[in-house]
A and B are shown apart, each in its own frame.
Chain A
Amino acid sequence: MQTEALVALTPDDLVRMILKKQRDLAKALPDLLKSREEELSRAYQLTKEARMAYKNLQEEASTNEEATTAAELLYNEREEFRRRSESRTHQLRNANANVQSTLMYWSDEERPWTSLLEAAHRVAEGHPPTFASKQLDGGQQA
């Protein structure tokens, strides 16, 4: 989108675009979450199996060092996969929760515009900007 179009965008236009994005996400996220959760339970299962195999080899005091090392490596690999899967599922759950709350906020016709437009009104009235000044301070500190 061109800068001129962005500047001409009204608050209502922006909210409509945000809502569209949130609705699309709200539609897509449950399926994604479902597949992630399936992946996570599979990862748990695989990790559990690998851990048992590794433990058994350890308890039997197997002299086959190669088999024990291979079982350990497999366990570590699956544990790593399980952690990644758990993290991704957790992120997706958060995203889903965020989408629900933001969707509710942006859909609400009674949303408080005052707080959203306060900074813009201040700039329009000739006061120093809030966010831009913060960004400038951050830039100078950096």
Chain B
Amino acid sequence: MTQKKSIEAQLSALTAEVTSLKERRSIMRHQRALNGLAIAYAKRGNTEPVATPELKNSDNEHLKKTLEAKDEYLKLLAQRDGLSRNVPLPRSTIEKRLHHLFKALARNTGPSGVHPLETEQRMAAEFFEFQELHRKVDLLDVANRELTEQRSTLQANVAALNKEQRQRRREEQNLQRTLDVALENARALRRSIGRQQRSRPQTVSVEASETLMAKFKAGDALELDEIQAMLEHSSLFQDPDPTEMTDATTEA
């Protein structure tokens, strides 16, 4: 009886452990799935920030940093594209044109370099526009540099998140192994309980039952579990002398 209780206590503890392990595994899987989403978002060419509250409210430092880096990257990308859209010519062409216009406007190249007033006005307006374009190209270069730096930051964050994912996967595998062992132990304990239940008549040995019977017959007081043991033992019912038992009880 004590052994059964002990096994049941063990089983109960093991079941609690299994539940806890399963919960941990579920949390880890969920976190890994979130990390996977963040990695996919960071790596793909998504142009819209992720609106998943779970991702946004995650307390995972790497994940938060990755999302922030991606959002910043998207912001810089939009800025760069906005600038780039209005700069249709490469820097070299703009500089070449600026030099050409300046020479035509301000360098004295003799009578052949004299233009009508309308042409000079157009060239001057074009020169000022190309000056502004050149400033835009400078801004574009800065934006491109910032974008490249941000891309590196993003890649570093993704790498950290990937490393964390690998670590999590290993931890999850270890947890799974522990869980498998716990489940196997629980099964063994349940099998053990089953075996005990099937072999209940043998739980009290013949010698013990005879001792108890002698004690009973002698009129000594029996403990509650001793009575239960005697009841469980089939030999009690094999005793054919109820009178003797009654007498003994009366005497007692």
B80 within 8 A of A: no
Whole-angstrom CA separation of A101 from B107 in the bound complex:
18
- Pair B105/A123 contact, Cβ less than 8 Å: no
Task: Give the nearest-CB partner of A124 in chain B.
Answer: B132
- Pair A14/B105 contact, Cβ less than 8 Å: yes
Q: Given A17-B106, A92-B111, A120-B132, A126 and B124 touching (CB < 8 A)? A: no
A116 within 8 A of B: yes
* Chain B, interface SS category: helix
Whole-angstrom CA separation of A115 from B124 in the bound complex:
10
Task: Give the nearest-CB partner of A21 in chain B.
Answer: B108
A142 within 8 A of B: no
User: What's the nearest-Cβ distance from chain A to residue B178, in Å?
Assistant: 61
Residues from chain B with Cβ under 8 Å of A129 in the complex: 86-88, 129, 132-133
- Pair B102/A32 contact, Cβ less than 8 Å: no
As a 0/1 sequence over residues 4 to 38 of chain A, the CB contacts with chain B under 8 angstroms (1 = contact) are 00110101001001101100110001001000000
Chain B residues 135-165 with CB under 8 Å of chain A are 135-136
User: What's the nearest-Cβ distance from chain B to residue A116, in Å?
Assistant: 5
User: What's the nearest-Cβ distance from chain B to residue A66, in Å?
Assistant: 41
User: In the complex, how many residue pairs between chain A and chain B have their CB atoms under 8 Å apart?
Assistant: 119
- Pair A126/B99 contact, Cβ less than 8 Å: no
Q: Identify the B interface with A (CB < 8 A).
A: 82, 85-89, 94-95, 97-99, 102, 105-108, 111-112, 114-117, 120-121, 124-136
- Pair B116/A116 contact, Cβ less than 8 Å: no
Cβ 8 A contact of A126, one of B86, B111, B125, B127: B86
- Pair B129/A131 contact, Cβ less than 8 Å: yes
A64 within 8 A of B: no
- Pair A98/B115 contact, Cβ less than 8 Å: yes
- Pair A17/B99 contact, Cβ less than 8 Å: no
A63 within 8 A of B: no
Residues from chain A with Cβ under 8 Å of B114 in the complex: 25, 94-95, 98-99, 102
Whole-angstrom CA separation of A91 from B113 in the bound complex:
11
A61 within 8 A of B: no
User: What's the nearest-Cβ distance from chain B to residue A90, in Å?
Assistant: 11
Whole-angstrom CA separation of A19 from B138 in the bound complex:
30
Residues from chain B with Cβ under 8 Å of A91 in the complex: 111-112
Contacting chain B: which of A52-60, A67-75, A132-140?
A132-140
Whole-angstrom CA separation of A11 from B106 in the bound complex:
12
- Pair A14/B129 contact, Cβ less than 8 Å: no
- Pair A131/B105 contact, Cβ less than 8 Å: no
Whole-angstrom CA separation of A105 from B116 in the bound complex:
11
Task: Give the nearest-CB partner of B134 in chain A.
Answer: A7
Q: Given A117-B125, A126-B82, A133-B88, A6 and B97 touching (CB < 8 A)? A: no
- Pair A6/B98 contact, Cβ less than 8 Å: yes
- Pair A115/B134 contact, Cβ less than 8 Å: no
Whole-angstrom CA separation of A9 from B134 in the bound complex:
12
- 5 CB contacts below 8 A, A to B, read A3-B134, A11-B128, A25-B114, A98-B115, A128-B85
Residues from chain A with Cβ under 8 Å of B85 in the complex: 128
Q: Given A3-B98, A91-B111, A136-B89, A131 and B117 touching (CB < 8 A)? A: no
**A6, A9, A18, A106 — which one has the most chain B CB atoms within 10 A of its CB?**
A6
User: What's the nearest-Cβ distance from chain B to residue A7, in Å?
Assistant: 5
In addition to A98-B115, A99-B114, A127-B86, 8 A-B residue pairs with Cβ atoms within 8 Å of each other are A3-B99, A3-B134, A9-B131, A18-B105, A32-B111, A102-B115, A121-B132, A124-B132
